[in-house]
Copies of this chain bind each other. A is one copy, B any other.
Amino acid sequence: MTIIDPNQIPSRTGSNYPDRFKPVVAGREKKRLGEATGLKNFGVNLTTLLPKSRSALRHWHTKQDEFIYVISGELTLITDEGESILSAGQAAGFPAGVANGHCLYNHNEQVATYLEIGDRTPNDAGTYPDDDLVAIATEQGWQFTRKDGTPYSS
């Protein structure tokens, strides 16, 4: 399928975080646009944050670049430098290996939507500065542990 209308793509909720962290992203919905067109080298999601919800735990990647472009609404980006507001038409990039965790909040009463793009460079790892969590990319998907390497029970 070459052309896609995002209205026709299913929204995915939920997360593969350990159970205790899942509520953090309960207000997040993703439409996997890139996958719907058969792409494999990078992912493009059209992501919706409901009012008062959050994109992710604050994190950074060792190998994979990330980029976001705001389509509608307003988002608050959190990094080591603090909070910044992004409006529709603004963008942000998070180069691989830059140890500055990021996540997005929708602090408003209106839905916010953005495109998020990330590549699929192997042997990636995610670091979570605010939480006792480490993510390792495996062929089976992300594997999450505590920072001391012990697994979460779920």
Report copies per complex. Answer: 2
Q: Are A115 and B42 in contact (CB under 8 A)?
A: no
**CB of A13 within 8 Å of the partner chain:** no
Q: Are B41 and A91 in contact (CB under 8 A)?
A: no
Within 8 A of B (CB), among A1-41: 2-6, 33-34, 36-41
Q: Which residues of A contact B (CB under 8 A)?
A: 2-6, 33-34, 36-42, 44, 64-65, 67, 69, 77, 79, 81, 84, 86, 89-96, 98, 100, 102, 115, 117, 119, 121
Top 8 A-B pairs, shortest CB-CB distance: A37-B93, A41-B119, A38-B95, A41-B65, A39-B65, A3-B92, A39-B93, A4-B91
The residue on B at minimum CB distance from A3 is B92
Report the separation of the CA atoms of residues A65 and B84 in the bound assembly, to the nearest whole angstrom.
32
Q: Are A91 and B40 in contact (CB under 8 A)?
A: no
Would you mind naming 20 contact pairs between A and B with Cβ atoms under 8 Å apart? A2-B77, A2-B100, A3-B77, A3-B86, A4-B90, A4-B91, A4-B93, A5-B89, A6-B90, A33-B93, A37-B67, A37-B92, A37-B95, A39-B65, A40-B65, A40-B95, A41-B121, A42-B42, A42-B65, A42-B119
